[in-house]
Amino acid sequence: MNPMTAARSPLSPADRPQLGLRERKKIKTREAIRTATYALIKEQGYDATTVEQIAERAEVSPSTVFRYFPTKEDIVLTDEYDPLMVEELRARPAGEPWIDSLRHVMRLALDGTMAEDPEAIRVRAHLGVQVPAVRARMLESMSETGRMLREAIAERSGLAADSLQVRVYAMSLIGGLMEVSMYWAENGFEGDLRDLVDQALDVLDQGLPTKKP
Amino acid sequence: MNPMTAARSPLSPADRPQLGLRERKKIKTREAIRTATYALIKEQGYDATTVEQIAERAEVSPSTVFRYFPTKEDIVLTDEYDPLMVEELRARPAGEPWIDSLRHVMRLALDGTMAEDPEAIRVRAHLGVQVPAVRARMLESMSETGRMLREAIAERSGLAADSLQVRVYAMSLIGGLMEVSMYWAENGFEGDLRDLVDQALDVLDQGLPTKKP
DNA sequence: TAGCTTTTGAGAGCTACTCTCATTTCATGG
DNA sequence: CCATGAAATGAGAGTAGCTCTCAAAAGCTA
């Protein structure tokens, strides 16, 4: 799920001789652009950072930046994990309630990311709160993930993946999960994100705890 | 709620002498810009329509267009209803389950819009499906509405409006409702949008119908 | 090393959007 | 009804994201 996923490729460094020099260079360039972007944003903020500056620091031309990332927001947000998560989701036992499957997959993704680049996850959430364009792009990319979710839900519920019910349900999950990282960032990154996700999934599964019976 | 709300001001035409000439002109200009935009988009599509063209057809300068609408997307999406809906929501009896309140308010807004400008509602949904930027802006504006929703939910649930639970719940409703208009547009605007909203609210309230017990 | 393919850089161009400043247009009190 | 102040407009320059084209550079293959 996007806002809480790794920035750096899981196949990260370029020290793998089985790939041709060309491929290795491409990976390096990608990383250079991202690193430069993160650094500049940390120094100057998102809006004040231009693609030209990013290109300069990454030692490539602006054209190349756009060749690697379709938009400036994508430099911050792209992750290579989503496809993996979908597989993982599909691999869960068919009898398992989808909320549990989701819980499992989310935790997996979060753990993986935390281990690899605990900074990125925070930076993203933070930018999501501050920069509308980034938040928008985040929602976009999450709703793409939502489309995949549909199928998993459909399989388990017996409903059609493109039925109104399944679509609404999937998108409501996405919306709820999105809000978690917003909440986390707005409250100074307090607490363990994974616990927050758990709580959110409880709400999404069972509704709000009824406090006045 | 945004994507299904009126394009034209509920206080529409400029034939109200109690307002000064200045105010009446402003309303007229707003309408001229919106009308021009809708027409041009119908002719050429969203991306092919430039702000310059809009300005020309509306007989104002491009500067003026941006003075009235912060972004091009806003020309299509802005509505003056959201505040009204929040009031309406708050006016519902305190004992009523919020889902019913929401249902009521949504139906109200939809009926109002249908009566005033049945075209706009379709155009918006359609653009939401086709143009990522518009969809993004739609989501943005809906999540603003979601912030208001929080308070109504908080009042009725006894939880804090800014608690994780309430925020997640509110945003999941928003996500679900957003998906309705996407679904509607993608399926050729078949069926009554209000019925679809009703069905969506059922799902959001009770979860998916369990078809294999 | 020669020839082919892919990647890159340079640069022109478009458009959304911002800002400034002079001009016009409305409002108002004498 | 006109003079003065306030608000809205237009013109224009400027920025930045993003696209496209084309020629040079770099890696690949034989």
Q: How confident is the model over A74-109, as pLDDT tens digits?
A: 999 877 677 778 788 888 888 888 889 999 999 988
* A158 closest CB neighbour out of B132, B196, B212: B212
Q: Any chain A CB within 8 A of the CB of B19?
A: no
- Mean local confidence (pLDDT), A203-213: 77
Helix (H, G, I), strand (E, B) or coil at A30: helix
Which percentage of chain A shows pLDDT scores above 70? 89
Q: Which two tokens stand for residue B97?
A: 């389950």
Distance B122 CA to C14 C1' (A): 30
Distance A31 CA to C13 C1' (A): 29
- Report CA dihedral (A185, A78, A12, A149) to the nearest 10 degrees: 90
Residue B7's pLDDT is 37
Tell whether the torsion through CA atoms of A110, A113, A119 and A120 is positive or negative.
Answer: negative
Helix (H, G, I), strand (E, B) or coil at A210: coil
Q: Which two tokens stand for residue B95?
A: 């004992």
Contact (CB, 8 A) for B20 and B122: no
Q: Are the Cβ atoms of B165 and A203 closer than 8 angstroms?
A: yes
Q: Comparing C-alpha atoms, which of A60, A73, A52 is closest to residue A28?
A: A60
Q: How far apart are CA A57 and CA A59, in angstroms?
A: 5
Which bases of strand C have any atom within 7 Å of the beta carbon of a protein residue? 6-11, 14-20, 26-28
Residue B47's pLDDT is 97
| CA-based R_g, chain A, Å | 19
The shortest C-alpha distance from A191 to chain B (Å) reads: 12
Among A147, A208, A211, the strongest candidate for a mutation testing the B interface, having the largest count of B CBs within 10 A, is A208
What is the 3 state secondary structure string of B25-57? HHHHHHHHHHHHHHHHHHHHCCCCCCHHHHHHH
Which comes out higher in pLDDT, residue A9 or B168? Answer: B168
Which comes out higher in pLDDT, residue B33 or A16? Answer: B33
Contact (CB, 8 A) for B76 and B37: yes
- Residues across chain A: 213
Q: Which nucleotide is the nearest neighbour of B24, by CA and C1'?
A: C26
Give the closest residue to C11 (Cα–C1′).
A63
For the beta carbon of residue A24, count every other beta carbon within 10 angstroms: 16
Q: Which two tokens stand for residue B68?
A: 């009235």
Q: Comparing C-alpha atoms, which of A183, A30, A163 is closest to residue B162?
A: A183
Chain B 158..187 CB hits on strand C (< 7 A) = none
Write out pLDDT tens, residues A22-64: 999 999 999 999 999 999 999 999 999 999 999 999 999 999 9
Which bases of strand D have any atom within 7 Å of the beta carbon of a protein residue? 7-12, 15-21, 27-29
Helix (H, G, I), strand (E, B) or coil at B23: helix
Q: Are the Cβ atoms of A169 and B212 closer than 8 angstroms?
A: no
Distance A22 CA to D26 C1' (A): 9
Residue B17's pLDDT is 58
Mean pLDDT in consecutive groups of 10 residues from the start of chain B, 213 residues? 43 56 93 96 97 98 98 88 79 86 91 84 94 92 87 90 97 96 96 96 90 45
The shortest C-alpha distance from A41 to chain B (Å) reads: 23
Q: Are the Cβ atoms of B175 and A176 closer than 8 angstroms?
A: yes
Residue A17's pLDDT is 59
- Mean local confidence (pLDDT), A206-212: 74
> Nearest residue of B to residue A137 by CA position?
B136
Task: Answer yes or no: is A52 CB < 7 A from strand C.
Answer: no
Q: Which nucleotide is the nearest neighbour of B61, by CA and C1'?
A: D10
Q: Comparing C-alpha atoms, which of B30, B35, B34 is closest to residue B14?
A: B30
